[in-house]
Structure 1
């Protein structure tokens, strides 16, 4: 296994000469909000439950309850419905 510091990518493989496969982090981004919905199911298709979820509203952190449903989707719950397309969700895994 090796780590590319410049690009932040992890590779798995054998030896020091080269037969490596990239297993780096993938990213999914989606805007959500419609002014009335409190819960959203987000399908990210990253094929892992080991995800990090960040939410942003007007370039500031937004807060919600996050539930990992399976390897490809999460549920996001808000206490107040976000306005139309006001929250950016960034999922990395």
Structure 2
């Protein structure tokens, strides 16, 4: 998980964070898929970092976690659409 840098910006996630759990499943396909997903998330966060200050990100995700508990997949889609629109505004 990303942390706060001294400037209040997000720092990149630790490269091996969370990789041990899928590896314990003993499935090379699962381990590879998890690694690929992790790389995609790291790339997404790299682009998102320039658009978020840590307090705003914390507030947004606090609201998102509450929302996903009540709205489920609809909240996830809305959250990801918001980020996609932030990174690539619709024409």
- For the aligned pair, the TM-score class normalised by the smaller chain equals under 0.3
Structure number with the higher strand fraction is 1
* TM-score with structure 1 setting the length: 0.26
Considering Cα pairs closer than 8 Å and 6+ residues apart, tell me whether 1 or 2 has the greater RCO.
Answer: 1
Structure number with the higher helix fraction is 2
